[in-house]
Amino acid sequence: MKLTGAGSDGVPMRAIREGIQVLAEPLTYLVNASITSGIFPHAWKEAKIIPVPKKGDRSLKENYRPISMLPAVSKILEKVVHRQISSHVERVGILPSSQHGFRPNRSTTTAMLELARDLTHAKDIGLTTAMAAFDLSAAFDCMDRDILMAKLDAYNFDKNCRNWIG
């Protein structure tokens, strides 16, 4: 985890790292309590917004982008849940092997290598190929919550996990 500035709670990640010997047990308790109860505490969702300048005239508001600084414990909790969900997804085989984004040991490089291999094979056997590409980078922002919950249920995510996400 990056050692960044403090979130809305005023606690920088650096303080957590430096005090991990003392904080590990209570943090583990808090993270486990959140996961097993299916509750993501509201206070951990509150972010401090920092305007970061882009290139250009700094007197213009459009030349800034907002950065959300979440509490350190929120970032820790999200990382733990991400690892658990990723592990479940990989173990159960939910995603097709052709999906490379947001998966361990896969990248745009592995996606391009697979694409090149498939195109070469198609050419070798005399097939015509076509390709469509979509940018789904902000797809989660507009996802229907009910559909997401139904998918999580269908893939055997437990109720607490669904509550925590939903």
Residue pair 148/166 in contact (Cβ under 8 Å)? The answer is yes
Mean pLDDT of 78-91: 91
pLDDT at 2 over 90: no
pLDDT band at 3 (very low <50, low <70, confident <90, very high): low
CA 96 to chain centre: 19
CA 47 to chain centre: 16
CA atoms of 125 and 130, how far apart (whole Å):
15
Mean pLDDT of 108-134: 93
CA atoms of 146 and 158, how far apart (whole Å):
16
The sign of the CA dihedral 8, 13, 15, 16 is positive
Pick from 73, 79, 69, 70: which is nearest to 30 by CA? 73
The tens digit of pLDDT for each residue in 31-81 reads: 999 999 999 999 999 999 999 999 989 999 899 999 999 999 999 999 999
CA atoms of 160 and 18, how far apart (whole Å):
31
pLDDT value of residue 160 = 87
The tens digit of pLDDT for each residue in 22-37 reads: 999 999 999 999 999 9
pLDDT value of residue 63 = 92
The tens digit of pLDDT for each residue in 129-164 reads: 998 888 777 777 788 889 999 999 999 898 888 888
pLDDT value of residue 137 = 74
pTM score of the predicted model? 0.75
CB-based burial label for 147 (10 Å; 0-12, 13-18, 19+): exposed
